[in-house]
Amino acid sequence: MAIHQNHDYGYDPQGKYGVWNDEHAAHNYQLAVGRPCMRTIDDASELLEDGALRRNPRHYLRNAVRPIHLGLRALRYNVWNPLWFAALGATRPLRTALGLRSRAVRLTYAKNGSA
């Protein structure tokens, strides 16, 4: 049985960043054998509230949605991102010649006082 207490991040001087990136977090990540084994409160089948255990209805939804979420993540990182960055690389000379590189566009907007 795993037990987790909801809390804020005020106890760490760096707040949420410190809690998620310190040595303790790295150790927990190793114990969990990486991201595929990590879970959240939504994964719990039961919650302890006001001294009593109650069923967690979100548990079923989370288990149903996880494969979809993982599939979309794989699609994004394994298919979409490589295609997107290949397209950016292929069009970089044209975008540079037309002054459409993001830094040049930002500087133009800043100079003209536009968005």
Give the pTM. Answer: 0.42
Mean pLDDT (whole number) for 28-45: 79
Strand, helix or coil for residue 53: strand
Q: In the chain, where does DSSP find H-type helix?
A: 15-21, 23-31, 58-75, 81-97, 102-112
* 39 vs 104, higher pLDDT: 39
Task: Please give the distance of CA 94 from its chain centroid, rounded to a whole number.
Answer: 33
CB pairs under 8 A, 24+ apart, for 99-103?
A: none
Tens digits of residue pLDDT in 64-102: 888 898 899 899 999 999 999 999 999 999 988 888 877
Amino acid at 47: L
